[in-house]
Structure 1
Amino acid sequence: MTTGPDTDALLVRSDPAPTGGDPDVLDVPRGTRLDAWWGRVLSVGWRLALWRWTGPLAVTLLGAVLRLWDLGRPDALVFDETYYVKDAWTLTHLGYEGTWPPSTETGSNTTDTRFVGGDTGFYTSAAEFIAHPPLGKYLIGLGMLAFGNGQDPAGWRIAVALIGIATVFLVAVIARSLFRSTLVGTIAGGLMAIDGQAIVMSRVSLLDGIVGFFALLGFGALILDRRWTERRLDAWVVRRELAGRDTLWGPALWFRPWLFAMGAACGLATGTKWSGLYFLAFFAVYSVLTDMMLRRRAGIEFWSSSAFLKQGPVNFLLTVPVAGVVYLLSWTGWFLTSGGYDRLWIQGGGQRWHGVLAWVPTSLQNWWHYQTEIYGFNIGLHTPHSYAANPFTWLLMVRPTSMYYEGQDAGVGGCTADRCGEAITGIANPVIWYASVIAVIVLVVLFVLRRDWRYGLIAMGVGAGYLPWLMYAGRTVFQFYTIAFEPYMLIGLAAVLGLALGSRDDPTPRRRRGILWVGVFLGVAVLASAYWYPMWTAIQTPWDFVRSHYWFRSWL
């Protein structure tokens, strides 16, 4: 996903100051010895090429270790795994989500206990009403099938873990591509690798991390489409001018493979959870606004009308219908079987469509009715929950989600203190999280002042995942939903750290301060992750250590 030269060699190369200008200014020492050394290292072509991949791959490997190590702990269904894991198991066996007997009908053991214990076949073929599309659960189910009979916790978490690892790599290469700097990309990927919420959401089989991964794929495709379109428009203008023709309206560009890919990626996100629709809407509108700007830059006189009247409908056709088809395909199992929820709704007495829509196949009418019921359920979900978090408080991380806790007395389960605990808390690394919130605000201000499209793009990614939730402040929602837009926040933080770092052309004192403070920040972030890691992975620790992590009463 990288185009153009990597600027890391330029940022750190030790060159003499440019000639001309004020001699007193030109005599100021610039860069550091570190810059000079790194410039010599990257002066060889193969070393520069190696560095471009070594950084992103190194942080991806770090992310893999933190996510895969002892993935099967705890040996229990954590938080909403009780829904998604069991749904995934029946989905891969029935083609739709079957039902499980209530706990009161399973004897002395609860349904979850029986499932974890290896009894995975006591579901029924009766259809279960579900709140989310099936794609993410299919992925979870494939991991379970790969690990055998479904009772291995690592099996029902492996798909989410691999997607979390892939997200680290995507963050690194997208940031590298966006800022043409392997260093910035490596920092962004490294922050994603060690952040607590990202680790938790890669080790617990929930759907939001999957949504974030597919949306991030769409974001990367959007960047590639922008660069693709810019080259195509520039070439078109040159051809028209050489042919002596006007360039008033500009072309309608139908061959937009990356825009098509963006629509497909957002369709996959929506096929996991309906919140993927927000990314599709924001990304599609952004593509039209980008076309307007690029046409104006290319000198097309009627750039506004051209983009709206000619390119706007094209962009719509290349994204929204594509996403719709992908979403529909995610329901293939429901269509190919007869037992799914509402699969035979009309046959059971439901009302068929009349008039101009009477031709629509019965299966599609049944499916549409099911979608309306899912919509009604999600909009009307106001069930009280002790860890519900108002979206207006998400950026402040007021109420992170406690997903698992098991306490032990001295001598139980290896506890050597008076009291021990094993916890999985969806608390992001506080150093990284609050710094990234500040970084996004900084980028918004810089976008207004400098009109750098990259800053606006990052802010748009955050807004796509966050702003629509403000309409549902009264709904039961959770802090961990922020994992879907956290990648853009960390890319933004890496961009701000890159600005603070400066370049080898900066005066030596300023450059040293930049390296020092960025190094200190990254060091503190790493230490904070080491301190919090047991609280993200259910490692048994003394209760006093557990309690020391609850910095605010609302985190309890």
Structure 2
Amino acid sequence: MAQRLVPPIQGGALAGWAGPLLIALFGGILRFVRLGEPKAVVFDETFYIKDAYSLLKHGVERTMLGNADNPIADKRLITGNLDIFQHCPKQVDCASFVAHPPLGKWMIGAGEWLFGMTPFGWRFAAALVGTLSILIMARVARRMTRSTLLGCLGGLLLALDGLHLVLSRTALLDIFLMFWVLAGFACLVADRDWARRRLAGWYESAPISELGPRLGLRPWRVAAGVCLGAACAVKWSGIFFLIAFAVMSVMWDMGARRALGLRQPYRGALSYDVPGGFAALAVAPAVTFLASWTGWFVTAGGWGRNWEQATSAGPFFFVIDSARSWLKYQTQVLGYHSGLEAYHPYMSEPWQWPLLLRPVSFYYPPDLPASACGANDCSQAVLGVGTPALWYGAVLALIAIITWYVATRDWRAGATLLGFGAGWLPWFYYAIAGNRTMYLFYMIPVVPFMVLAIVLAAGLVLGRAGASSGRRSAGAAAVGGFALIVLINFWWLQPVLTAETITQAEWWARMLMRSWVTAAPK
């Protein structure tokens, strides 16, 4: 029964860790080498690195007055570790309205605290979580496929994605959202195995009942709730994944009890699993989200804090008044996101994202001297775009996985499609209901699920372990050939992902479509 509910994983524990760790090391090298380049503020880093610095100084985001001579104020090159902000005058209300929760900025601030206000410092946390997400990707793909080889393939493909690389080398919030979503999903997959082992052990040693056993505290599911709460504490869009994965976890519990042969599996899951699931996937995320706002609650300088009134009449009134002010703030943030319609030259629609029709130019200085590359016209770019071979392969894989799920109801296909849909489909509401400003990099939380789709499709191509040697050889050649194509495509794009100085002709050669460029550079 145990092997039927939780099939064994091919390869030993040593290989199961050594392979993913080596892949993560490879991805980490790509992300950390030249992390301080370009020595400038890239795209929306200008908002988040200042908010992170303010959190370190004040516990909340404050409007930090830029020095006219400071390199962040005018986006000139940064040459050293500088204290780049003046303190806000006491006579001026410098509370800053911010549209995103604080956790991602606290994570950026950790790098600034460790390495100073330098490009390396404010990008350090992004590179670290980007590298760790490769390890998590390899491990969760291994657990889902029961194959160390396919797990390493998943980690390698994520390491070679251009959009993942760019966001791992940029102090924006989206890479942190992706990390916590992936970590939460991985914890739920681990919880699925954990719960099934407990059920199998009960089946073999306890008398049969109609409902089955209580499973008690499920640490992996609690960890998943904390991670998904952290995703919401980076960006509100984490709530889509939290809701989807909570439903998925309950469905897995029902399926496990049904697979055990219990007479009333659904009632057993609703009676014994759902209450604990509510605590793990509703209460724990809410506590985590609230905890990320600790700086706002315990200091006087936050937006809408109303500190003097909150502290005017005892601790009970403090809690009630603080909660009222905080909820009003959240309502303002919701209104901001619902009405965000400012035009941006690199904005795009959700249907364009999987096809990479409109990536985002994060950095392109127009005034490089000819001596920078040895030609008359030079380019140095950071283009936020996925690796085309990987993304177009993922589109085909997703179509295959949809067909596979319809035919077999395989849980792995269902989980992958759910993760992809939870991160992509909600944006169509904003596209239909209004003209909200959206960008390709909003897709980064679903990139791991695109990779999982490819990994599952690769498993189908390889066939079962007992398949003929000819079938296995042909499948291995196809999968290996695809991985090689992705590697070559990534290598070709890498100069325009990491701000390497190249000739303008070389830059143009890497622009797959004219829609990748707003206008020809001067």
TM-score (norm 2): 0.90
1:405 CA displacement: 0.6
1:401 is matched with 360
| Cα gap change, 1:516 to 1:297, in 2 (>3 Å) | closer
Q: Is the Cα contact below 8 Å between 1:98 and 1:123 reproduced in 2?
A: no
User: 2:104 aligned to 131, 136, 139, which one?
Assistant: 136
Equivalent position amino acid for 1:95 in 2? G
Equivalent position amino acid for 1:529 in 2? F
Gaps of 5+ in 2: 1-5, 518-522
1:540 is matched with 501
Q: Is the Cα contact below 8 Å between 1:56 and 1:189 reproduced in 2?
A: yes
| Cα gap change, 1:232 to 1:389, in 2 (>3 Å) | same
1:369 is matched with 328
Residue 491, structure 1, aligned to residue 494, structure 2: no
Name which one, 1 or 2, has greater alpha-carbon Rg: 1
Residue 312, structure 1, aligned to residue 274, structure 2: yes
| Cα gap change, 1:359 to 1:249, in 2 (>3 Å) | farther
User: 1:57 aligned to 21, 34, 43, which one?
Assistant: 21
Query: Matched residue of 2:382: which SS?
Result: strand
User: 2:474 aligned to 488, 492, 513, which one?
Assistant: 513
Q: Is the Cα contact below 8 Å between 1:535 and 1:546 reproduced in 2?
A: yes
User: 2:430 aligned to 446, 468, 472, which one?
Assistant: 472
User: 1:416 aligned to 368, 374, 379, which one?
Assistant: 374
Query: Matched residue of 2:207: which SS?
Result: helix
Residues 454-469 of structure 1 mapped to structure 2, 5 A cutoff: 454-469=412-427
Q: Is the Cα contact below 8 Å between 2:65 and 2:85 reproduced in 1?
A: no
User: 1:286 aligned to 248, 258, 264, which one?
Assistant: 248
2:35 is matched with 71
Equivalent position amino acid for 1:530 in 2? W
Residue 338, structure 1, aligned to residue 338, structure 2: no
Q: Percent identity?
A: 39
1:301 CA displacement: 2.0
Bigger shift: 250-259 or 459-468? 250-259
1:184 is matched with 150
1:139 CA displacement: 0.9
2:400 is matched with 442
Separation in 2, partners of 1:253, 1:369: 40
Separation in 1, partners of 2:65, 2:13: 57
Residues 38-49 of structure 1 mapped to structure 2, 5 A cutoff: 48-49=12-13
CA RMSD after TM alignment: 2.4
| Cα gap change, 1:115 to 1:518, in 2 (>3 Å) | closer
Q: How many residues align?
A: 499
TM-score (norm 1): 0.85
2:9 is matched with 6
Equivalent position amino acid for 1:507 in 2? S
1:470 CA displacement: 1.9
Residues 52-131 of structure 1 mapped to structure 2, 5 A cutoff: 52-101=16-65, 106=68, 111-113=73-75, 116=78, 118-124=82-88, 126-131=94-99
User: 2:342 aligned to 383, 388, 408, which one?
Assistant: 383
Separation in 2, partners of 1:335, 1:115: 36
Equivalent position amino acid for 1:456 in 2? G
Separation in 1, partners of 2:501, 2:78: 20
Query: Matched residue of 2:284: which SS?
Result: helix
Q: Is the Cα contact below 8 Å between 2:41 and 2:72 reproduced in 1?
A: no
1:39 is matched with none
| Cα gap change, 1:504 to 1:538, in 2 (>3 Å) | same
Gaps of 5+ in 1: 9-47
1:122 CA displacement: 1.6
| Cα gap change, 1:204 to 1:287, in 2 (>3 Å) | same
Separation in 2, partners of 1:436, 1:547: 25
Kindly provide the CA deviation profile for residues 303-334 of structure 1, in whole angstroms up to 9, marking residues without a partner as x. Answer: 23333355334311221111000110001111
